């Protein structure tokens, strides 16, 4: 097959980790007889430096015309003083909106070879961590009206959280269909004791649940969920939640696996085209030093093959190569353990490629 992949290297460690993921994709293409064509799409701080805006129209066009998009990370302290409408993150939000990527899937799975890195008590970790956060990605307070104005002699800022039924329904379907392929349990997370948007969320998710009688639905308040994720993560299979709650809970979920550098994510809309990225940020403190862990991005590339290109065997090959590399005791700094071999970003990429 021939596929065109838009490449957003981004800022900080972005270029290093994406380069390793592209190397792994090339190895898969050679093994399975595919052709992947890469088209660069500058976005984030580097695009502000080169074009004055975080997402130039040409980059957006490239992404909209590609079969999928692979992203490293954007942002960094260099652009902190940009006006809020021109921050690197704005580029990402604009891209998500323009590609209509309403569902963001972030797995929280503990790799058995990395259980020593899990920050939870051993008896809690022993019950296993294997759940998925499905985050609504283009609604809620992120995409509501934002304003700052002078009111009664002081500055007053407002961010509006709004949800329409269809925005809730479509992401709920994603969660239930995912649960059908897993352990058939959806936990919907909201703040229905306080927020109108959450009461609507709860009603619509409950309605969608009726179409999936084989899946159990539980509702949980977000404050309780934040606590339950560290108290007993084994109770979760698929979590579905709105944009801001999902942003917060998915960071918490990744950290308890002990390896934020290992976790990929996919963002999808109606078609097969998606945006794939590691869930970690641009880590400017270690940028350009060959210290970053490229595994999150490499596993994001595997997710792209599986979900956008329907290449399950190819994705399995990448995931198996990552597992074997970890089994061989090869580690980047963030997941280093006693008795293992410390390698840099490039060497980790090469080790994984050699196992494709």
Q: Which does 92 bind (CB under 5 to 8 A by kind): ligand IPM, Mg ion, none?
A: ligand IPM
Q: Is 323 in the site for ligand IPM (CB under 6 A)?
A: no
Count of residues in contact with ligand IPM, rule CB under 6 A: 4
State the catalytic residue, choosing from 102, 247, 276, 291: 247
Tokens of 103: 């569902």
Q: Is 89 in the site for ligand IPM (CB under 6 A)?
A: yes
Query: What Cα–Cα distance (Å) separates residue 210 from each residue in 167, 181, 213, 215?
Result: 18, 17, 6, 9
CA dist., res. 302 & res. 353, Å (int) = 13
Q: With respect to ligand IPM, which residue has the nearer C-beta, 23 or 88?
A: 88
Q: Is 61 in the site for ligand IPM (CB under 6 A)?
A: no
Minimum gap (Å) between residue 247 Cβ and Mg ion: 4
In the complex, residue closest to ligand IPM by CB: 89
Minimum gap (Å) between residue 298 Cβ and Mg ion: 20
Q: With respect to Mg ion, which residue has the nearer C-beta, 11 or 247?
A: 247
Q: With respect to ligand IPM, which residue has the nearer C-beta, 83 or 153?
A: 83
The answer to whether 238 and 106 have CB atoms below 8 angstroms apart is no
Of 39-47, 88-96, 121-129, 221-229, the segment contacting ligand IPM by CB under 6 A is 88-96
Element (H, E) at 306: helix 295-307
Q: With respect to ligand IPM, which residue has the nearer C-beta, 85 or 122?
A: 85
Confirm whether 31 is a catalytic residue.
Answer: no
CA dist., res. 205 & res. 190, Å (int) = 11
The answer to whether 225 and 235 have CB atoms below 8 angstroms apart is no
State the catalytic residue, choosing from 142, 163, 276, 307: 142
Question: What's the CA dihedral at 149, 153, 154, 158 to 10 degrees?
Answer: -30
Count of residues in contact with Mg ion, rule CB under 5 A: 1
State the catalytic residue, choosing from 26, 113, 251, 323: 251
Confirm whether 223 is a catalytic residue.
Answer: yes
CA dist., res. 303 & res. 66, Å (int) = 16
What one-character DSSP code corresponds to residue 108? E
Cα 40–45–46 angle (5° rounding)?
A: 40
**Which positions ≥6 away from 333 have C-beta within 8 Å?**
291, 293, 342
Minimum gap (Å) between residue 140 Cβ and ligand IPM: 11
Q: Is 247 in the site for ligand IPM (CB under 6 A)?
A: yes
Owner of token pair 């002699």: 153
Confirm whether 142 is a catalytic residue.
Answer: yes
**Pairing assessment for the beta strands 185-190 and 216-221 based on DSSP bridges:** parallel
Q: With respect to Mg ion, which residue has the nearer C-beta, 244 or 287?
A: 244
Q: Is 247 in the site for Mg ion (CB under 5 A)?
A: yes
Cα 129–130–135 angle (5° rounding)?
A: 115
Q: Is 252 in the site for ligand IPM (CB under 6 A)?
A: no
The answer to whether 318 and 298 have CB atoms below 8 angstroms apart is yes
- Spell out, one character per residue from 201 to 240, where the chain touches Mg ion: x when CB under 5 A holds, - when not: ----------------------------------------
Max CA-CA distance within the chain? Answer: 67
Confirm whether 251 is a catalytic residue.
Answer: yes
* Cα within 13 Å of Cα(28), Cβ side: 30
Q: Binding ligand IPM by CB under 6 A: which of 5, 92, 95, 125?
A: 92
- Spell out, one character per residue from 262 to 281, where the chain touches ligand IPM: x when CB under 6 A holds, - when not: --------------------
Tokens of 130: 């294997």
Judged by the rule CB under 5 A, the positions of this chain that interact with Mg ion are: 247
Please give the residue ranges that form the binding site for ligand IPM (CB under 6 A).
Answer: 89, 92-93, 247
Active site residues: 142, 191, 223, 247, 251
């Amino acid at each position: 097959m021939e596929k065109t992949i838009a490449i957003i290297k981004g800022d900080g460690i972005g270029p290093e980790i994406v380069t390793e993921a592209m190397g792994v994709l090339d190895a898969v293409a050679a093994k399975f007889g595919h052709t992947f064509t890469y088209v660069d799409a500058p976005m984030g701080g580097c695009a502000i430096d080169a074009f004055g805006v975080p997402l130039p129209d040409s980059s957006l066009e490239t992404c909209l015309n590609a079969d999928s998009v692979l992203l490293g990370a954007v942002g960094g302290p260099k652009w902190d003083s940009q006006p809020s409408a021109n921050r690197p993150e704005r580029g990402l939000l604009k891209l998500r909106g323009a590609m209509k990527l309403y569902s963001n899937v972030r797995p929280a799975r503990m790799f058995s070879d990395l259980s020593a890195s899990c920050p939870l008590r051993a008896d809690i970790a022993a019950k296993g961590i294997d759940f998925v956060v499905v985050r609504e990605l283009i609604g809620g307070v992120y995409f509501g009206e934002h304003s700052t104005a002078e009111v009664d002699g002081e500055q007053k800022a407002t961010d509006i959280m709004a949800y329409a039924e269809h925005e809730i329904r479509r992401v709920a379907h994603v969660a239930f269909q995912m649960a059908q392929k897993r352990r058939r349990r959806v936990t919907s997370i909201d703040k229905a004791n306080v927020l109108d948007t959450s009461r609507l969320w709860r009603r619509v998710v409950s309605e969608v649940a009726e179409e999936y009688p084989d899946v159990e639905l539980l509702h949980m308040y977000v404050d309780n969920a934040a606590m339950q994720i560290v108290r007993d993560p084994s109770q979760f299979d698929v979590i579905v939640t709105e944009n801001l709650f999902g942003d917060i809970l998915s960071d918490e979920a990744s950290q308890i696996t002990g390896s934020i550098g290992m976790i990929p994510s996919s963002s999808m809309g109606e078609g097969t085209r998606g945006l794939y990225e590691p869930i970690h940020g641009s880590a400017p403190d270690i940028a350009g030093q060959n210290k970053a862990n490229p595994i999150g991005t490499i596993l994001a590339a595997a997710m792209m093959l599986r979900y956008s290109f329907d290449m399950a065997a190819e994705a399995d090959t990448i995931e198996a190569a990552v597992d074997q590399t970890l089994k061989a005791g090869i580690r980047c700094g963030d997941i280093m353990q006693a008795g293992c071999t410390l390698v840099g970003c490039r060497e980790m990429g090469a080790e994984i490629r050699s196992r494709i």
